[in-house]
A and B are shown apart, each in its own frame.
Chain A
Amino acid sequence: MKRRVITFIAAICSTILASQQHAAAAEHMTVSADSLKFYGDRFLLEGDGNVSVTLDRKYTIHGNAFSMDLRLNRFVVGGDVTVTGEGVDLHGAGIADFFDTHRMYFIPVLSQPDRWTYDGTDFAHPSKGLEMPGDPFYFPDVSTSRVTVISHRAEIEPLTYVEFFPAKIWASGILTPLPSYVLNFSGNPDWKQNSLAGAIVDIPWDFAGSPRFLSTLHLRYDQTNHAYASFEEHYVASPGTWAVISLNPATQVNKQYNFISNAVISSHLQAYAFAQAFAYQPGFSTPLSLSSFARLQLTYGLPSSFFQVQLNQNWDSLLPMPPANQQDPTLLYYWWGNPSHPWVPMHPFNGLITWQGDTPLRHLPLSFRLRGTYGWAHDNSYVYYSYGLQFFPPSASPSFSDVVNTISYTTVDALVYSHAIRVAKNYYFTFSEEGSRQTYSLPHRTDQVQSTATISRTYGTKLATFAGYQVTNIADDYGPSLQRLYYPETTFGGTYPGYAAFDGFATFRSVYGQAVYTPNPNFSLSFMLKSNNNFPASMPGIFGTPPTQLFGDVRFRISPHAMVDVARTYSFNFGGLTWGPSFTVQVLP
C-alpha cells in the first residue's frame, strides 16, 4: 500500500508540473535607475536618473523618471524619453503602459507634439490622435509615503512579483542590505501556502523568484530548537494547483522535511497531498532515525455534498534494519548509532471514504448535515514487538495472539443546526444538535452527542454580547464484560478520587460569555469568559481544560497601514497557570 500512496503523490506532482493553465503571459520588465525606491504602503516603485526599462527583453525605454503602481499594473516613464529595439527608434516626452488594457500611450516630439497609442508593444502601428485616459503620465506624490526597499535594478512580472538586485530593506528602523529581495504581491493566495511549523519569531527572506517559483530563507526562533534557519520553496502552476517543499529546521540536528500540494484535476475533483519526514541528522549525513507520514486526499464535489477518499500512511522508520552489532542483547530492539535512536519497523495504514452533505430544511431556519464514513486500518505485527493496532482483549500481559492487525469501522454523523433566529429586537438565538456513532469491527463503539445553544445581543454596531452553553457526552463502549478492562478503577494515587467512577463515559459542559466593543474600525476590545464543568474532572497538565478561562484581546491602529493586536489568556491558577504562555502582539497590514 505504501507504494500506492507514493505513486499517488508522484502522480499529483506530475499533474502540478504538467499544469500549464497559467494566465496569458504578462510582459516581463527590467527596470534600472540611479535611484529605485519601493514605497510599501502604496505599492509604488519610483525611479529617478538614467532610467532604463526593458520590456519583454526586446524593447528598451530610457528616460529621466519612472513610476509604477504595481497594483494598478501600469507604469510611466517621463523626461527625454527614447524607445529603441527591433526596428523601433522613438523620441518623446513620456510613455505610459497600461498592462491591463494592453495599451501604451506615447507623446512623441517631432516637429511638434502628438499623441500616439499602441496596442501592446506593436510600435509599428500607432493609433495617432486617439483619446487617452485622464492624466495618464501622472507621477504620484510620495513625499509622505514610506520607503521600504532601496535598489538600482528590479525584475518585474506584472501582478505577480518584483525582485530587487541588490536591495536595502527598511524594516523596524533598520536598513538591511541584501543581494536580492523578492516581493510577491500576486492576487493568487496559493503563493502564501506554507509548510513550516509555528515559531515565536520568523523572519522570512524571499531571495529568488520567477513567475512560478519563490524561494524563501527563514530565520526563526522557538523554545525547542532556539535560533535556526529554514528553507521553503513554493511552486504555483495555476489557481488552486500548487506545491510547497521545505526543510525546517535546516540547521539543527532534528530536521523536518515537508511537502504539501494541491492539484485541481477538474472543476469537481481536487487532490491534496501532504508528506512529512522527521530525521535525526547531523548536518546532511545519513540520518540515525527517519520517520515519515504521508496523506493523500481526493475530494469530488457535488452541488451540496462531496465524496472524499483519504489514505494515510505512517512509517516509523524508513531506515533499513541495523546490523547485528547494533542490537539489544535481549533481541528486543535495534538501533542506529546508539540506543537512543531505536529502529522501529512499524508502518500503520489508514484509508477511509466519506460522503458528507449539507442541506437547508425548507421553510425552517435550520440546516441538516449528514456524514457517513467507512474506514479501514492496518498495521502488521512484528515478531519482536508485537506491533499492530491494539490488543484485544486487553490484558496486563497480552500474548502475541491478542494483537489485532486490521480494523474496519463505520461512522454515521448527523447534525441539525440553526441559523441566527431573531427572538426579540436585537436578540438572536442559535442551536445545534449533533450525534455520531463510530462502530468498529471489534466489539467496540464510540458514541458522541454534542448540544450547543447561544443567545446574542447587539447594541447598535459598536457592542455585541453573546452567551453560550455546550454539553458533550462521549461514550467509549466495549460492552459490559470488557468495559472495566479498558477503564479500570483509578484515583491517580488518591489525588482525584472522582476518577474511580469513570469507566469510559464522559460529560463535558462549558458556559461561554463574550463582549466585543468596536467603537470604530481602528479600535476593538473583546473579552470572553469560559467556564468548564467536566466529568471526569480536569487534571492539570494531564487531561482536560482549566475550569475557568478568560480570553482578552485588544486591537488598535497605530498608523494608516498598521494595527497592533494584543491577546492574552488567564487560567485562574489552574495547575499554577495564570496568564497564558502566549502573549501575542501582531503588527498587521
Chain B
Amino acid sequence: MTLRRAFCAVLALTLVAATPAPSPTPASSPAPASSLTPSPSPAPSAALVRFAGQVLDEQGGFIFFTTGDGFRLNPDVRYVDAAGNETSERPRTRLYAQATFDASGSVVQIAVGTHPFPPGAAYEQVRQYAVVTTPKQPNPQFSHPREGIEGKPVAVTFTVEVPPNTPLTDTVYLSTDKSLWVANAVRMDRIDALHYRYTVKLNSGTDLYYLYTRGTWTTVERGRDGLEERPHHLFVQNLDTETRSDQVYYWADLMTSGPNPEATFNPAVLPTPFNPNPFPSTFPTPKPPVPTPH
C-alpha cells in the first residue's frame, strides 16, 4: 500500500510539471505535428518510461495513440485519472492519456484525462514498444517540397497598384478563399493614389487564394488581356515577414478607360446615343420623352 502511494505521488509530481499545450495544427500544413508530446522531460527511471498522447482507441489488449502506434497492455494495467486516483474511465477516442511502460514495453498504467498530459519520454524512446505486424517501410510520398514548414505566424503584407481610373474615393478589398470569397471581406488601406496595402498574420504553410475587388463581384479585377482573372495564389513560407505585390490593370466595371468609362457599358450613363447629354437629368435633353398617362 505504501509503495502504491509513493508511486502515485511520483506520478502526480510528474503530472504537475508545467508544459505547454500541443501547438495547434497550421491551417494548411501537409501534416500536423505529433500529438505525442516530445522531450524535454524528466529522465524516466530505468524501470518505468512514460509518455503522453491522444488516444485513438483501446481494444484487443492494446492502446492506440493518434500517431497510429499500438502498445500492448499489461494484463494488470491500472487506470487512473489525471490526479493519479483510480478511475473507471477507460481510454477512448478524443481523450488524452499518459502511458507508463515497464521494462518489457508493456503498459502497466494509463492515466486518462480530457486535457493533454505533460510530456514524458521522447516519442523515439517509446516507439520501440509499438507493436506492428509488418516492419516499417519508408514512404516515398513524403519527400514533398514543403518540409520544414513550422506553421509559425508570418506577417504577410499585400500591396496592390490599381488602375489610374480607379475613383479616388473608392476602397479596395481583398477577397480570399479563407473568407469564403466575401467580396468586401478585407478592406485595404490606401498608401497613395494608386497603392493600397494590407498586413495580416498567417501561419507558414498556408495556401491562400485571393482576388482584389472594389467591394462587389461586379467590381472585381480583370487582367491586362481584359479577361476574368483566376485567383492569385500565395504559399506562406517559413519567414518572419513576407510581402506580396500585385497590379490590377482593369476593374470589371471600368474596363474601358476614360473619364466616363461606364458609358460603353450602360446606355443610361453618359454620353451615348441613348443619352447624348453628358449632364443627365439636369439640362434640356434632345431625347423624346416617354409618354406618361394623363
Q: Is A93 an interface residue (CB 8 A)?
A: yes
Count of A-B contacts judged by CB separation below 8 Å: 385
Q: Are A434 and B187 in contact (CB under 8 A)?
A: no
Query: Given A114, A185, A586, which contacts B134 in the complex, CB threshold below 8 Å?
Result: A114
Give CA–CA (A307, B243) in the complex, Å.
34
Q: Is A559 an interface residue (CB 8 A)?
A: no
- Chain B residues contacting A187 (CB-CB under 8 Å) are 177, 209, 231
Residues in B179-211 with C-beta less than 8 Å from chain A: 179-187, 189-195, 197, 199-201, 209, 211
Q: Are B66 and A80 in contact (CB under 8 A)?
A: no
- Chain B residues contacting A518 (CB-CB under 8 Å) are 189, 199
Q: Are B31 and A65 in contact (CB under 8 A)?
A: no
Contact bitstring B251-286, A, C-beta under 8 A = 1, else 0: 000011111100111010001111011110111111
Query: Given A137, A332, A350, A409, which contacts B56 in the complex, CB threshold below 8 Å?
Result: A137
Q: Are B139 and A131 in contact (CB under 8 A)?
A: yes
Query: Given A137, A140, A403, A516, which contacts B288 in the complex, CB threshold below 8 Å?
Result: A403
Query: Given A304, A310, A502, A512, which contacts B264 in the complex, CB threshold below 8 Å?
Result: A310
Query: Given A78, A115, A356, which contacts B226 in the complex, CB threshold below 8 Å?
Result: A356
Give CA–CA (A434, B287) in the complex, Å.
29
- Asked if A65 meets B94 with Cβ closer than 8 Å, knowing A133-B30, A448-B258, the reply is yes
- Chain B residues contacting A105 (CB-CB under 8 Å) are 68
B232 to chain A, nearest CB (A): 11
Give CA–CA (A240, B222) in the complex, Å.
12
- Chain A residues contacting B217 (CB-CB under 8 Å) are 189, 192-194
Residues in B100-142 with C-beta less than 8 Å from chain A: 116, 130-139, 141-142
A547 to chain B, nearest CB (A): 15
- Chain A residues contacting B186 (CB-CB under 8 Å) are 588
- Chain B residues contacting A80 (CB-CB under 8 Å) are 57, 59
In the complex, what residue of chain B is closest to A543 when comparing beta carbons? B282
Interface with A: B32-40, B42-50, B81-89, which one?
B32-40
Q: Is A319 an interface residue (CB 8 A)?
A: no
- Chain B residues contacting A419 (CB-CB under 8 Å) are 161, 194
Question: Which of A112, A141, A389 has the most chain B CB atoms inside 10 A of its CB?
Answer: A141
Q: Is B5 an interface residue (CB 8 A)?
A: no
Give CA–CA (A135, B258) in the complex, Å.
58
Q: Are B189 and A516 in contact (CB under 8 A)?
A: yes
Residues in B26-82 with C-beta less than 8 Å from chain A: 27-28, 30-36, 54, 56-57, 59-60, 62, 64, 66-68, 70, 72
Question: Which of B36, B211, B273 has the most chain A CB atoms inside 10 A of its CB?
Answer: B273
How many residues on the B side are at the interface (Cβ–Cβ under 8 A)?
114
In the complex, what residue of chain A is closest to B194 when comparing beta carbons? A430
Query: Given B187, B264, B278, which contacts A474 in the complex, CB threshold below 8 Å?
Result: B278
- Chain A residues contacting B6 (CB-CB under 8 Å) are none
- Chain B residues contacting A420 (CB-CB under 8 Å) are 161, 192, 194-195
Q: Are B192 and A543 in contact (CB under 8 A)?
A: no
- Chain B residues contacting A78 (CB-CB under 8 Å) are 56-57, 66, 93-94
In the complex, what residue of chain B is closest to A191 when comparing beta carbons? B181
Contact bitstring A145-178, B, C-beta under 8 A = 1, else 0: 0000000000000000000000000000000000
Query: Given A81, A350, A521, which contacts B200 in the complex, CB threshold below 8 Å?
Result: A521
Q: Is A394 an interface residue (CB 8 A)?
A: yes
Question: Which of B92, B182, B271 has the most chain A CB atoms inside 10 A of its CB?
Answer: B271
Q: Are B92 and A377 in contact (CB under 8 A)?
A: no
- Chain B residues contacting A438 (CB-CB under 8 Å) are 263, 271
Residues in B139-186 with C-beta less than 8 Å from chain A: 139, 141-142, 155, 161, 164-165, 168-169, 171, 175, 177-186
B16 to chain A, nearest CB (A): 20
Q: Is B293 an interface residue (CB 8 A)?
A: yes
- Chain A residues contacting B260 (CB-CB under 8 Å) are 448
A242 to chain B, nearest CB (A): 10
- Asked if A371 meets B256 with Cβ closer than 8 Å, knowing A135-B36, A135-B66, A136-B31, the reply is yes
In the complex, what residue of chain B is closest to A381 when comparing beta carbons? B288
Q: Is A458 an interface residue (CB 8 A)?
A: yes
In the complex, what residue of chain A is closest to B266 when comparing beta carbons? A312
Give CA–CA (A194, B175) in the complex, Å.
15
Q: Is B2 an interface residue (CB 8 A)?
A: no
- Chain A residues contacting B246 (CB-CB under 8 Å) are none
- Chain B residues contacting A111 (CB-CB under 8 Å) are 133
Question: Which of B21, B31, B177, B226 has the most chain A CB atoms inside 10 A of its CB?
Answer: B226
Q: Are B191 and A464 in contact (CB under 8 A)?
A: yes
- Asked if A109 meets B60 with Cβ closer than 8 Å, knowing A543-B279, A543-B281, A588-B182, the reply is yes
Q: Is A548 an interface residue (CB 8 A)?
A: no
Q: Is A572 an interface residue (CB 8 A)?
A: no
The 4 closest A-B pairs by CB, nearest first: A301-B225, A306-B226, A129-B134, A113-B70
| Besides A301-B225, A466-B192, A521-B199, 14 other A-B contacts (C-beta < 8 A) | A76-B66, A107-B57, A113-B133, A135-B34, A135-B35, A139-B66, A139-B94, A192-B182, A377-B272, A415-B257, A420-B192, A452-B164, A516-B190, A530-B169
B residues in contact (CB < 8 Å) with A = 21-22, 24-25, 27-28, 30-36, 54, 56-57, 59-60, 62, 64, 66-68, 70, 72, 92-94, 116, 130-139, 141-142, 155, 161, 164-165, 168-169, 171, 175, 177-187, 189-195, 197, 199-201, 209, 211, 217, 223-228, 230-231, 249, 255-260, 263-265, 267, 271-274, 276-279, 281-288, 290-294
